[in-house]
Amino acid sequence: MRIAIPLTNGRLSLHFGYCECFALLDVDPDEQKVLGRENVWAPPHQPGLLPPWLAKLGATVVLAGGMGERAQALFAEQGIQVVVGAMVETPERLVSNYLAGTLRPGENGCQFEDNHDGEGGEDGHQRT
């Protein structure tokens, strides 16, 4: 299993599409053990790009703070499970909690469900 986590300053990025990089952690779910970690720089934000890109890198699970419904559907099409509402923490702690079944997601940090199509403000969010 390979778990992808968006990072900013070495911790979970609350806004999935605008992270600095992704931590890709290879884990053994039976042993509940991290086997390795690789950090990869995120490509420039572009709607619809990350799901196939992370699938190509072998991700099977994404732990995120927030993600719009459209992005979640695109990940599902790639066969990638998405867990939203994770709290800002280190990748190792998040994965450890996820494997132990103790990851307690909060609210989806993305409240801009339908505005990630490049319209609205410069970050794709509709301004009110």
Instruction: Please list the pLDDT of the chain residue by residue as tens digits (128 residues).
Output: 999 999 999 999 987 878 899 999 999 999 999 999 999 999 988 888 999 999 999 999 999 988 888 989 999 999 999 999 889 999 999 999 999 988 877 655 454 444 443 333 333 333 22
pLDDT at position 79, please? 97
Instruction: Please tell me the pTM assigned to this model.
Output: 0.82
Task: Spell out the residues 6+ positions from residue 48 whose beta carbon is closer than 8 angstroms to its own.
Answer: 74
Taking only the tens place, the pLDDT of each residue in 110-122 is 544 444 433 333 3
Cα radius of gyration (the chain) = 14
Task: Spell out the residues 6+ positions from residue 46 whose beta carbon is closer than 8 angstroms to its own.
Answer: none
